[in-house]
Chain A
Amino acid sequence: MSSPILTRLAFAGSLKAGATVEARWSAAHPMDSGFRVDDSGQKIPRNIIHTVKVLLNEQLILEADLGTAMTSPVYLAFPVQVPAGGGWVRVLWMDDAGQAGETTQRLVV
């Protein structure tokens, strides 16, 4: 499958240097758990986003290993401390089909 996966990254909270905001990331990925079958009875192979990495100004702040219990669309919200002068938050992900992508959002102070 190679259709683009829509992702979204937003921040909630006051964007001031030193403050902690909540970063909310979601991806419209099918997250096939591997337990379901299609109409003809064929097993749908597992294809979930299994790895997510979050970087703040190119520094790794969070590594996540996701299991089949994560919903579709995937939703993950985590705290980010706003650095002085703001910066960029990058969320990198990879799924079982080998597809990978990234969501980048600017932290404007």
Chain B
Amino acid sequence: MTLPDFCVPDDPQRRKGMLWAASACFMSTHLSGQATSMSDMSSEGIELVFPRLADTGNAVPLQASIRAPEGTYIQSLRVILPENPNPVALQLKLHGEPQSYQLNTRLRLAASQSVWVVAAFGNGMARANSAPTVITSTACLDDS
């Protein structure tokens, strides 16, 4: 059996995953009237626990702890993997205006990359933090 490149979608924009993910951010900060890219956002109040090295990309655990700035609340969270064929891994809309939030999940990674967590707050502000990881085999070519 020839090895198909099924991990690579027909989309020529794939390598521009970072840009794509950043544009997703523009949308989230759209209401505040200013578009900021993820890397320009403050990472204050967002803590990530993500392994620096993972054997496979099949199930990489992520813990994100988010604390809202004084006087506001967390409205939505977004988990972005810029090098994945589909960079947006998870979007959460939180109800009940929480001040802090702790999320645990497991992600599939196509390549070594940084995971980004973007938090949007009730006052239109957004913050983002990233954590890098190195994987030795991709989740795209594996059976599981």
**The stretch of A36-44, A89-97, A100-108 that contacts the partner chain:** A36-44
Known contacts A62-B94, A62-B95: A70-B101 contact under CB 8 Å? no
Residue pair A35, B88 in contact (C-beta under 8 Å): no
Q: How far in angstroms is the closest Cβ of chain A from B48?
A: 15
Give complex CA distance A24, B109 in Å: 22
Residues from chain B with a CB closer than 8 A to the CB of A65 are 88, 90-92
Q: How far in angstroms is the closest Cβ of chain B from A47?
A: 14
Residue pair A71, B4 in contact (C-beta under 8 Å): no
Residue pair B4, A75 in contact (C-beta under 8 Å): no
Residue pair A67, B90 in contact (C-beta under 8 Å): yes
Per-residue A-contact encoding for B77-117, CB less than 8 Å = 1, 0 else: 00101001110111111111010011111111100000000
Known contacts A35-B85, A69-B86: A77-B105 contact under CB 8 Å? yes
**Residue in A35, A39, A77 whose beta carbon sits within 8 Å of that of B6 in the complex:** A35
Give complex CA distance A24, B104 in Å: 8
Give complex CA distance A81, B109 in Å: 31
Per-residue B-contact encoding for A10-38, CB less than 8 Å = 1, 0 else: 00000000000010100000000101110
Per-residue A-contact encoding for B26-66, CB less than 8 Å = 1, 0 else: 00000000000000000000000000000000110000000
Residue pair A64, B96 in contact (C-beta under 8 Å): no
Q: Among A43, A67, A70, A76, which residue has the most Cβ atoms of chain B within 10 A? A: A67
Indicate if B12 sits at the interface (CB-CB under 8 A): no
Nearest B residue (CB) for A40:
B1
Residues from chain A with a CB closer than 8 A to the CB of B131 are none
Residue pair B144, A77 in contact (C-beta under 8 Å): no
